Amino acid sequence: MAFEKIKLPFNLSVVILFGLIMLSLQLMSSAMQESSQLSAMYSWLLLFNALGSVVLLILVGANIYSLIQHTKRREAGSRLTTRMVSLFVVLALAPAVIVFYFSMQFLHQGIDSWFNVEIDRAMEDALELSQASLDQRMRWHLKQTQQLTDRLEDSSESLVTMEIENLRELSGASEMTLFSRQGRIIASSSINPSDILPSLPDEHIWLQLRQNSEYVAVAPFHEEELMIRVIVTVKAREPQYLQALYPVPVRIADLADSVEFAFVRYQEMNFLRNSLKMSFSLALSLVLLMSLSAAIWVAFINIRNIIAPVKELVKGTQAVASGQYDQQLPVIAQDDLGFLVESFNDMTHRIAVARDETRQAGVEVENQRAYLETILANLTAGVISVDALYKIRTANQAAYRIFHIHVNQFIGRTLVELVEGYAELAEPLKSIQRLLEQADDIWQQRIAFLGPNGRQELLCRGTPLFSQDGQRVGAVVVFDDVTDLIQAQKNAAWGEVARRLAHEIKNPLTPIQLSAERLQHKLADKLGPTDANILKRSTQTIVQQVEAMKEMVDDFSEYAKPSKKQTVNIDLPKMVQEVLALYALKSGVKFKADYETGLLIINGDPVSIRQVLHNLIKNALEAIDAHGLIEISLHRVQKNNTDFIEIALYDDGPGIKDEQIEKIFEPYVTTKAKGTGLGLAIVKKIIEEHGGAIWIDTSRKVGAGFIIQLPASNSEQL
Partner 1 sequence: MINKIPILVKNFCLSTFLCGVLLWCLPFSGYADEFAAEVKQAEVTLHGDYYLLSADIVYQLSEKAMEALQNGVPLFWDIQFKVLEQRDVLWDKTLVDTAIRYRLQYHALLNMYRVRDEGDGTVYNFSTLFAALDLMSTVRDFRLIGGLSELAPEKQYLLAMKVNFDRDALPLPLRPIAYVDRQWYLSSDWTLWPLKK
Contact between 214 and partner 1 by CB under 8 A: the answer reads no
Contact between 270 and partner 1 by CB under 8 A: the answer reads yes
The minimum distance between CB 221 and partner 1, in angstroms, equals 10
The minimum distance between CB 259 and partner 1, in angstroms, equals 7
Among 204, 369, 574, 663, binds partner 1 (CB under 8 A): 204
Among 25, 27, 31, 232, binds partner 1 (CB under 8 A): 31
Residue 156: which of 245, 244, 236, 242 has the closest Cα? 236
Residue 263 or 300 with smaller CB distance to partner 1: 263
Contact between 37 and partner 1 by CB under 8 A: the answer reads no
CA dihedral 370, 373, 377, 382 (to 10 degrees): 180
List CB contacts of 256: < 8 A, sequence separation 6 or more: 130, 133, 134, 226, 248
Pairwise CA distance, residues 490 & 486, whole Å: 6
Say how many CA atoms lie within 13 Å of 430 toward its Cβ: 9
Residue 14 or 50 with smaller CB distance to partner 1: 50
Among 14, 276, 379, 502, binds partner 1 (CB under 8 A): 276
Contact between 290 and partner 1 by CB under 8 A: the answer reads no
Amino acid at 70: H
> Binding mask 215-244 vs partner 1 (x if CB under 8 A, - otherwise)?
--xxxx--x---------------------
> How many CB atoms are located within 10 Å of the residue 86 CB?
11
Contact between 110 and partner 1 by CB under 8 A: the answer reads no
Say how many CA atoms lie within 13 Å of 658 toward its Cβ: 2
Residue 77: which of 328, 342, 304 has the closest Cα? 304
Among 75, 165, 214, 260, binds partner 1 (CB under 8 A): 260
**Size of the residue set binding partner 1 (CB under 8 A):** 36
Pairwise CA distance, residues 398 & 708, whole Å: 27
Contact between 282 and partner 1 by CB under 8 A: the answer reads yes
The minimum distance between CB 172 and partner 1, in angstroms, equals 22
| Cα 269 to Cα 30, 38, 236, 664, distances in angstroms | 19, 20, 53, 145
3-state DSSP call for residue 129?
Answer: helix
Pairwise CA distance, residues 585 & 455, whole Å: 36
CA dihedral 493, 499, 503, 507 (to 10 degrees): 120
Q: Is residue 593 a contact partner of residue 633, using CB atoms and an 8 Å limit?
A: yes
The minimum distance between CB 120 and partner 1, in angstroms, equals 13
Q: What is the DSSP letter of 655?
A: -
For helices 507-523 and 529-560, the axis angle rounded to 10 degrees is 160
Phi/psi zone of residue 675: left (φ > 0), alpha (ψ -120 to 50 degrees), beta?
A: left
The minimum distance between CB 46 and partner 1, in angstroms, equals 6
Contact between 34 and partner 1 by CB under 8 A: the answer reads yes
Residue 708: which of 700, 716, 698, 688 has the closest Cα? 688
The minimum distance between CB 107 and partner 1, in angstroms, equals 12
Among 275, 438, 530, 699, binds partner 1 (CB under 8 A): 275
Contact between 24 and partner 1 by CB under 8 A: the answer reads no
List CB contacts of 81: < 8 A, sequence separation 6 or more: 67, 70, 303, 304, 307
The minimum distance between CB 106 and partner 1, in angstroms, equals 17
The minimum distance between CB 45 and partner 1, in angstroms, equals 11
Residue 78 or 130 with smaller CB distance to partner 1: 130
Stretch that binds partner 1, among 139-147, 276-284, 353-361, 377-385 (CB under 8 A): 276-284
Among 231, 259, 392, 613, binds partner 1 (CB under 8 A): 259
Contact between 263 and partner 1 by CB under 8 A: the answer reads yes
Residue 52 or 474 with smaller CB distance to partner 1: 52
3-state DSSP call for residue 192?
Answer: coil
| Cα 678 to Cα 66, 506, 553, 605, 620, distances in angstroms | 104, 17, 11, 19, 15
Residue 129 or 582 with smaller CB distance to partner 1: 129
Stretch that binds partner 1, among 213-221, 500-508, 592-600, 670-678 (CB under 8 A): 213-221
* Residues between 124 and 143 that touch partner 1 (CB under 8 A): 127, 130-131, 134
The minimum distance between CB 34 and partner 1, in angstroms, equals 6
Rg over alpha carbons for the chain, rounded to the nearest Å, is 73
The minimum distance between CB 40 and partner 1, in angstroms, equals 6
Residue 43 or 507 with smaller CB distance to partner 1: 43
Pairwise CA distance, residues 525 & 535, whole Å: 11
| Cα 324 to Cα 47, 330, 331, 351, distances in angstroms | 55, 16, 19, 10
Contact between 267 and partner 1 by CB under 8 A: the answer reads yes
Among 11, 26, 43, 147, binds partner 1 (CB under 8 A): 43
Q: Is residue 338 a contact partner of residue 332, using CB atoms and an 8 Å limit?
A: yes
Among 161, 279, 305, 642, binds partner 1 (CB under 8 A): 279
In terms of Cβ atoms closer than 10 Å to its own Cβ (0-12, 13-18, 19+), residue 187 is buried
Stretch that binds partner 1, among 97-105, 253-261, 525-533, 541-549 (CB under 8 A): 253-261
Say how many residues make up the chain: 718
Residue 32 or 407 with smaller CB distance to partner 1: 32
Residue 141 or 455 with smaller CB distance to partner 1: 141
List CB contacts of 352: < 8 A, sequence separation 6 or more: 325, 326
The minimum distance between CB 269 and partner 1, in angstroms, equals 9
Among 87, 94, 170, 272, binds partner 1 (CB under 8 A): 272
Stretch that binds partner 1, among 159-167, 258-266, 327-335, 463-471 (CB under 8 A): 258-266
The minimum distance between CB 164 and partner 1, in angstroms, equals 26
Stretch that binds partner 1, among 51-59, 251-259, 312-320, 683-691 (CB under 8 A): 251-259
Q: Is residue 210 a contact partner of residue 202, using CB atoms and an 8 Å limit?
A: no
The minimum distance between CB 265 and partner 1, in angstroms, equals 7
Q: Tell me the pairing of strands 214-221 and 185-190.
A: unpaired
Contact between 120 and partner 1 by CB under 8 A: the answer reads no
The minimum distance between CB 31 and partner 1, in angstroms, equals 7
Stretch that binds partner 1, among 26-34, 323-331, 471-479, 534-542 (CB under 8 A): 26-34
- Site residues for partner 1 per CB under 8 A: 31-32, 34, 39-40, 42-43, 46, 127, 130-131, 134, 204, 217-220, 223, 256-257, 259-260, 263-265, 267-268, 270-272, 275-276, 278-280, 282
